[in-house]
Amino acid sequence: MNRRDAAQRRKLPLLSDHIGGRSQLTCLYRCGDACSHPVPNTSDNPYMGDLIASAVSRRSVFKAGVVVTAGAGAAGALGSAAYASESDGAQSSAFWGSVPRGLRFDAVEPNRDDAVTVPDGYEQQIVIRWGDPILDGVNEFDPTAQTPEDAAGQFGYNCDFLALLDLPGERRSKVLVANHEYTSESMMHYGYDSAAPTREQVEIGWASHGLSVVVLKEDKNSGDLTPVVGHELNRRVTATSEFVLSGPAAGSDLLKTTADAEGALALGTLNNCAGGVTPWGTILSGEENFNQYFANAGQVADATAKARLARYGLSGNASERKWEQYDPRFDVLQEPNEPNRFGWIVELDPYDPDWTPRKRTALGRFKHEGAGPRVDRQGRVVVYMGDDERFDYMYKFVSKHRMKSGSSRSAREHNRKLLDEGTLYVAKFTGDSPGEIDGTGALPDDGAFDGSGEWIKLASGDESFVDGMTAEEVYVFTRLAGDKVGATKMDRPEDVEVNPKSGKVYAALTNNTQRGTSGRAAADEANPRNSNKHGHVLELEERHGDVAAVTFGWRLLLVCGDPEDPSTYFSGYPKEKVSPISCPDNVAFDPQGNLWISTDGNALGTNDGLFGVSLTGSTRGLTKQFLTVPLGAETCGPVVQDRHILVAVQHPGEVDGASAETPASQWPDGPNGVLPRPSVVNVVKDRFGSIGC
C-alpha cells in the first residue's frame, strides 16, 4: 500500500471560480466549453410551471407509491452516538448507533490538498495510471517519447466510468473496464501548439480516448490490485476502433458516409463518460460531448441540417483539437453524417475480445452521460439514461424481449441483442405543490419536492410516436423528439442508476446556473432552485415497481450545497451532521443499498469527492464524505464493493494556467514524477475488512 505522503499535501494554486467550479481548461477540453455557448435547447417545449395546473387532477395517482417516509423529525431517534467526524475511533456497533452499515467511517473534511484523502483506518493504492502498458510489447510511459502505437497499448487518458468484474476460473482475478473520456493536449505534450498540432499528437489523442479492459490480480492480504500486462482479455478501444451500428437506425441514410456506404460500421468512440454493467455481463458506455470534435458546423448552408447540428451543440469553424486537419471525417462540410455516428450508448463485452462492440441506436442519440440497466423478475430489461446538458432530458429504454439466464452460448448471443429492439421513452415530471415553487429552494407546504411523472413514448422499432418525425429521425435526433413531446427540461441529468436493493432509480442533476435566467425555464418542483450552482439528486419509483410502467412517482433526495445554506435539503436529516456536497455527477450503490455519489466541479471551492448517503429509515439523507481527490481533479467512476472502493481520478492538476511545462499537481507520482496522471485508485479498509462496517 502506498500511504499518502504527507509531504505531498502541500497547498497548490486555488481553483478558478469558473462556472460550476471547473477550470477553464477542463471546460475547453472536456465539453468543448459548453457553458460558454448558447444552451442548445431553444425549444419552446413548456417547462413544468406551465403544466402544474393540468397536473393537479393527476396528483393523487402516485402519491401513495412515492415511497419513503421523509427523514424529517428523525433527529431525535438518531441520538448522540450517530455519525461523528469527531469520533474517537471506538467503532463498535453501539458506537455507530443507527448509522447504517456501509457508512460507518469518519467523514473526510473538505480540503484543497494535492492528494487523495481517505478516512482514518483506510488505505489507498494506485491501480493504474495514464500511460501504464496493458498490452505486451508496449513501451513504458515517457511523455517525451510517446507514440500513437504505444498510447494504443497503454491505459488511456482521463479515466471516467469504471467497472470491476469477477473473472470466473481465474483465482483472485478481476476485470477492470474504464472509459477514457477526453484528452487535455496542453497537459499531455510538452510544447503543445493548439493552433498547429502535429499528426503524431493528434493520433496520440485518438489512441488515448475510448476504453480499456485490463485484468487485475488481487492480493488476498492487502487488497492491492495489480494489472496483468498482456492478459488475453486486455484490450484498448480507441477513437479509431470498429463499432457495429446496430438496432433500428442502422443502415439509415442519416448514418451513411463516404467510408461506410451501408451506414453499418463506425470508427471509434468519443467522450465516453459514465456507463453501466448489464445483467448479462457486458458494459454500456455513454458517448457524451462528441460535438466538440467536429469542425465547420457553423458553415453548413442547409437550414435543417444546421438546426439539427445546433441542437447537439455543433457550431463554429475549426475544432479545438484540429483533428479535421488529419481526417476529413471530422469536418462536417466534407462528411455531414459523421457526427450522427456519435452520441450513442455503446456496448462492449469484456469477456469476449472477438465480439465487435456495438453502438445501440435503439437507445437514442444525445449527449449520453451513462446507462443504468436493470432486469426484473420476468426478465424484462430497462435502461435509464440522462442527457447531460442544461435543460435537457431523462430517458428510458425497455427491451422487447426478455433476458435469458445462464451462461450458455445461446443465452449470451440472445442477451447481446436485447438492446436492439424495444421502446424508447422520455420523462415528464409534474410537481404536486403547484404555485409553491419560488426558485429559492424553500420547501413547499407538503414538506417535499415531489410529484408524479410520465414516460412519453418516442419510438419502438420502426414505429415513431412523434408527430412529424420518422422512427429513424427519432433515434438519430432524439433531442428534437423530446422537444416535440413536452419532456421536462432538467438541470443537467447525469448518471441515472437503479438501486439493486430497492429497484428505485436515482438521478444526479449536476447544476444549471442558467435556470430561471432571462428567457430560460424557471424553477419547477423537480428543479426547484434558480441559478442552481450545486445540483440535486432525484429518486424515482416506477408504478408498482414495473420496469415497463409509463407512469412513476418521484421526489428529491438531496438539494446540494453547504448545509448552512437554507436552500439545501437532506431529506430532513439534521444538516449539522452532514458533509457539504456540490455538483453530484456519478452514482453507485454499495452492497447494503446505500447511495454513493461522486462530484464534478464542487462549487463550494474545495476539491471534488465521493460521498455515501443513507436512503432509508431514520438516517435517510445522512451524507458523509468518504474521500477527496487532488487539486483540479474530478471524482469519477465509483465502484463500491464489500471490500474495495475504486475511483477514477480524472484530470488532476487541470486548473487555469496549468500545462505540461507548468503542472499544478504532483499527483500521483510525487516530486519525482513527470506529469500529473489520471489514475484509478483502490481504497480498502485496514486488514482488508468490509468497507464502512
Which parts of this chain interact with ligand FEO (CB under 6 A)?
A: 181, 273, 288, 369, 388, 494, 585
Give min distance, CB of 183 to Ca ion, in A.
Answer: 15
Integer Cα distance of 192 and 158 in angstroms:
18
Integer Cα distance of 151 and 205 in angstroms:
9
Name which of Ca ion, ligand FEO, none residue 539 binds, using a CB cut-off of 5 to 8 Å depending on partner kind. none
Q: What grid cell was written down for 140?
A: 513504458
| Beta carbons within 8 Å of 475's beta carbon, 6+ residues apart | 247, 248, 249, 252, 361, 362, 364, 365, 424, 459
Pick the closer one to Ca ion by CB: 187 or 547: 187
Sign of CA dihedral 474, 478, 479, 483: positive
Instruction: Single out the residue of 483, 494, 539, 656 in contact with Ca ion (rule: CB under 5 A).
Output: 494
SS (H, E, C) 431-442: ECCCCCCCCECC
Applying CB under 5 A, does 421 fall inside the site for Ca ion? no
Partnered with residue 522 across adjacent β-strands are none
Give min distance, CB of 288 to ligand FEO, in A.
Answer: 5
Q: In the sheet that 283-287 helps form, which strands lie side by side, from edge to edge? A: 265-267, 242-246, 358-360, 345-348, 283-287, 272-277
Integer Cα distance of 483 and 494 in angstroms:
18
Applying CB under 5 A, does 234 fall inside the site for Ca ion? no
| Beta carbons within 8 Å of 317's beta carbon, 6+ residues apart | 295, 296, 298, 299
Pick the closer one to ligand FEO by CB: 494 or 497: 494
Give min distance, CB of 503 to ligand FEO, in A.
Answer: 25
Name which of ligand FEO, Ca ion, none residue 432 binds, using a CB cut-off of 5 to 8 Å depending on partner kind. Ca ion
Integer Cα distance of 616 and 589 in angstroms:
13
Piece of 82-90, 445-453, 603-611, 671-679 that binds Ca ion (CB under 5 A): 445-453
Give min distance, CB of 293 to ligand FEO, in A.
Answer: 14
Piece of 183-191, 234-242, 349-357, 449-457 that binds Ca ion (CB under 5 A): 449-457
Closest CA to 136 of 214, 74, 193: 214
Give min distance, CB of 471 to ligand FEO, in A.
Answer: 27
The footprint of Ca ion on residues 326-385 (CB under 5 A) is none
Pick the closer one to ligand FEO by CB: 386 or 451: 386
Name which of ligand FEO, Ca ion, none residue 446 binds, using a CB cut-off of 5 to 8 Å depending on partner kind. Ca ion
Spell out the alpha helix ranges (H) of 56-128: 60-63, 75-78, 93-96
Closest CA to 68 of 453, 622, 615: 615
Q: Which residue is nearest to Ca ion (CB)?
A: 433
Length of the chain: 693
Integer Cα distance of 286 and 161 in angstroms:
9
Give min distance, CB of 287 to ligand FEO, in A.
Answer: 10
Neighbours of 503 (CB within 10 A): 15
Applying CB under 5 A, does 546 fall inside the site for Ca ion? no
Applying CB under 5 A, does 432 fall inside the site for Ca ion? yes
Give min distance, CB of 511 to ligand FEO, in A.
Answer: 11
Pick the closer one to ligand FEO by CB: 141 or 395: 395
Pick the closer one to Ca ion by CB: 335 or 600: 600
Give min distance, CB of 542 to ligand FEO, in A.
Answer: 24
For the purposes of burial, counting CB atoms within 10 Å of the CB of 89, is it exposed (0-12), middle (13-18) or buried (19 or more)?
exposed
Site string for Ca ion, 557-596 (x = CB under 5 A): ----------------------------x-----------
SS (H, E, C) 461-488: CCEECCCCCCHHHHHHCHHHHHHHHCCC
Integer Cα distance of 676 and 348 in angstroms:
29
Pick the closer one to ligand FEO by CB: 108 or 273: 273
Pick the closer one to ligand FEO by CB: 260 or 369: 369
Applying CB under 5 A, does 72 fall inside the site for Ca ion? no
Name which of Ca ion, ligand FEO, none residue 546 binds, using a CB cut-off of 5 to 8 Å depending on partner kind. none
Applying CB under 5 A, does 444 fall inside the site for Ca ion? yes
Name which of Ca ion, ligand FEO, none residue 389 binds, using a CB cut-off of 5 to 8 Å depending on partner kind. none
Give min distance, CB of 187 to ligand FEO, in A.
Answer: 17
Pick the closer one to ligand FEO by CB: 8 or 527: 527
Applying CB under 5 A, does 450 fall inside the site for Ca ion? yes
Pick the closer one to ligand FEO by CB: 123 or 369: 369
Name which of ligand FEO, Ca ion, none residue 444 binds, using a CB cut-off of 5 to 8 Å depending on partner kind. Ca ion
Name which of ligand FEO, Ca ion, none residue 181 binds, using a CB cut-off of 5 to 8 Å depending on partner kind. ligand FEO
Give min distance, CB of 26 to ligand FEO, in A.
Answer: 10
Integer Cα distance of 589 and 638 in angstroms:
9
DSSP 167: -
Pick the closer one to Ca ion by CB: 102 or 528: 528
The verdict on whether omega for the bond into residue 668 sits within 30 degrees of 0, i.e. cis, is yes
**Coil, helix or strand at residue 450:** strand
Q: What grid cell was written down for 607?
A: 476539491
Give min distance, CB of 529 to Ca ion, in A.
Answer: 15
Piece of 67-75, 588-596, 599-607, 654-662 that binds Ca ion (CB under 5 A): 599-607
For 370-405, b/e burial (b = at least 16 CB within 10 A) is bbbbbbbeeebbbbbbbbbbbbbbbbbbbbeeebee
Pick the closer one to ligand FEO by CB: 154 or 289: 289
Integer Cα distance of 192 and 135 in angstroms:
27
Give min distance, CB of 601 to Ca ion, in A.
Answer: 9
Instruction: Give 563-594 as a DSSP string.
Output: TTSTT-B-TT--GGGS--B--EEEEEE-TT--
Pick the closer one to Ca ion by CB: 30 or 104: 30
Give min distance, CB of 158 to ligand FEO, in A.
Answer: 9
Name which of ligand FEO, Ca ion, none residue 288 binds, using a CB cut-off of 5 to 8 Å depending on partner kind. ligand FEO
Integer Cα distance of 279 and 273 in angstroms:
20
Pick the closer one to ligand FEO by CB: 288 or 420: 288
Integer Cα distance of 161 and 180 in angstroms:
8
* Angle separating helix axes 303-311 and 478-485, nearest 10 degrees: 90
Give min distance, CB of 645 to ligand FEO, in A.
Answer: 20
Pick the closer one to Ca ion by CB: 67 or 167: 67
Residues that bind Ca ion (CB under 5 A): 273, 432-433, 444, 446, 448, 450, 494, 585, 600
